[in-house]
Structure 1
């Protein structure tokens, strides 16, 4: 038996065409776990067909106590890189539900949080406590579901692109619900664009690879080997940028002068772009105090628009740049 997941209550239930109904009997607060004081047992409709193994007064791990006879529902929503204008129409409609319980990632932008109409709880996934924060997210979702609420799991970028979206879907299934997933604009493609960097360009790059900076338990994922006509986009990696640059050179055979850009808070009013190469980018990011959420772009495409019209490659733009629109005429190099 798993605490907080398998809870028992003596009730009778009647299946009908409209779903399972709930008839309490016995003590309303009878339970086998001190984690909840809810008074109704939720039995999904499939129980009538014997799919939930409910028999002899026992229930499986997908059984929950709810307080109003109706299980809540979950929407998993991608909020994009940060600009509210980049929300999908479907996402905007969901977060404007005044009755929703919105459980947001820490890096969802304040501009998007300001659009939320319901109660908002923010997960504080800081270094060293990510697993604890993730468990808190599940506890909040479980609480909302037992209250019969519309739980909105609001995630940065796209839920299924290095966002634990698949893991959370599996966890919600254990709770007895199938979430509705609403895609978001991933920073893997939006951030380079907003920073004036095309991830592909004829004659420069004909392939794009997306990577995360952190594997399970804080490990470093394996790196794909260097190819001159290749762009690599790293998400969630700015915290170990120097280590990443060294590994690209030492383990993946990247030349030290390979161009690199870091786009911080893409699409937000505070967006900044820092450019350099594998030798210099880590120092630049320390100098300008670059923080998450940031997207790292590695490859020759970094120079395509930033250097066009500003001189030879020997005069490559480096350091902090300001690019209001992706056009070389708007580039202003820092005094480095």
Structure 2
């Protein structure tokens, strides 16, 4: 391994290419190989025209590159003397498996550096003018994945009791189960909820409703991944471009249709 060989675990930010850090851009400009996630905005690759680009996408419900293969590739490229950037959407340490890659590099004695990025759970909220924390409405924010590695249940009662804004990653496919679990754990069915698709990108879309009605509303609006689910009183501060619909009436119509079917 040459003295120049190094791996950079880089956060690309939430989607808007202007939200990447200057330090991340410098790493891309020096990279010889870039292993890039599906969620990374392709416009960011303009910062590394000299590099070999290796797609290693990981998307829920889609064919993905196994994590163990990515770990081995990072080590092998560094041992060949390459400067490598592992470019990951958002922040590498927020549901990005950056910790697993760091441990693999550490075990192989490969030099590495972590370059944080803005996570979509904060940026998508900010794009809708929703502060994840707001004095008088909550005392914190909790980031949680929408599903566990072993498929087991999340600690829903503890999450509800925390009285924090809940920002749920990778939960869109499980939205009906999440809605039901939160209500069964004691959350008010009228708790404000927001789902943001493609946060901070030009094609960003959002839906705002109650947690009870959100599965119906997100389905009706055909919201797709990647999307962030936000649950809490802070959602009431979101900017609105049109009059909010009557969520209770929408929910009752949905239930009536389901019962008739």
Q: Same fold (TM over 0.5)?
A: yes
Q: 1:284/1:205 Cα in 2 relative to 1: closer, same or farther (>3 Å)? A: same
Q: 1:100 aligns with which of 29, 32, 41?
A: 32
Structure with higher RCO (Cα < 8 A, 6+ apart): 2
The DSSP-based 3-state class of the residue aligned with 1:216 is coil
Alpha-carbon separation, structure 2, partners of 1:75 and 1:238? 30
Equivalent residue number for residue 43 of structure 2: 111
Deviation at 1:136, TM superposition (A): 2.5
The DSSP-based 3-state class of the residue aligned with 1:102 is strand
Q: 1:237 aligns with which of 149, 156, 171?
A: 171
Alpha-carbon separation, structure 2, partners of 1:190 and 1:283? 25
Alpha-carbon separation, structure 2, partners of 1:263 and 1:168? 28
- Asked whether the 8 Å contact 1:229–1:300 carries over to 2, the reply is no
Instruction: Figure out how many residues of one structure are paired with residues of the other and give that number.
Output: 248
Deviation at 1:113, TM superposition (A): 3.6
Alpha-carbon separation, structure 2, partners of 1:220 and 1:111? 38
Alpha-carbon separation, structure 1, partners of 2:174 and 2:97? 20
- Asked whether the 8 Å contact 1:123–1:134 carries over to 2, the reply is no
Correspondence 1:263-282 to 2 at 5 A: 263-282=196-215
Question: Which stretch of structure 1 is more off in the superposition, 261-270 or 133-142?
Answer: 133-142
Equivalent residue number for residue 22 of structure 2: 89
Alpha-carbon separation, structure 1, partners of 2:121 and 2:136? 21
Deviation at 1:310, TM superposition (A): 7.7
Alpha-carbon separation, structure 2, partners of 1:228 and 1:180? 34
- Relative to the length of structure 2, the TM-score reads 0.83
Equivalent residue number for residue 20 of structure 1: none
Equivalent residue number for residue 125 of structure 1: 58
Deviation at 1:84, TM superposition (A): 1.2
Deviation at 1:168, TM superposition (A): 1.2
Alpha-carbon separation, structure 2, partners of 1:266 and 1:257? 24
Q: 1:179/1:228 Cα in 2 relative to 1: closer, same or farther (>3 Å)? A: closer
- Asked whether the 8 Å contact 1:71–1:145 carries over to 2, the reply is no
The DSSP-based 3-state class of the residue aligned with 1:121 is strand
The DSSP-based 3-state class of the residue aligned with 1:247 is helix
Q: 1:167 aligns with which of 100, 117, 123?
A: 100
Alpha-carbon separation, structure 2, partners of 1:268 and 1:114? 17
Alpha-carbon separation, structure 2, partners of 1:238 and 1:165? 22
Question: Which stretch of structure 1 is more off in the superposition, 116-125 or 174-183?
Answer: 116-125
- Asked whether the 8 Å contact 1:205–1:228 carries over to 2, the reply is no
- Runs of 5+ consecutive residues of structure 2 not aligned to the other structure: 251-261
- Runs of 5+ consecutive residues of structure 1 not aligned to the other structure: 1-41, 43-68, 320-336
Q: 1:257/1:74 Cα in 2 relative to 1: closer, same or farther (>3 Å)? A: same
Deviation at 1:128, TM superposition (A): 6.2
Deviation at 1:271, TM superposition (A): 0.8
Would you say 1:249 and 2:186 are equivalent positions? no
CA RMSD of aligned residues (A): 2.9
Q: 1:196 aligns with which of 129, 154, 158?
A: 129
User: Whose radius of gyration is greater, 1 or 2?
Assistant: 1
- Relative to the length of structure 1, the TM-score reads 0.66
- Asked whether the 8 Å contact 2:56–2:64 carries over to 1, the reply is no
Q: How far does the alpha carbon of each residue in 1:215-237 deviate from its partner, in whole angstroms, 9 at most, with x for none?
A: 22343432334259531111121
Q: 1:131/1:314 Cα in 2 relative to 1: closer, same or farther (>3 Å)? A: closer
Deviation at 1:295, TM superposition (A): 1.2
More helix by share: 2
Alpha-carbon separation, structure 1, partners of 2:58 and 2:225? 12
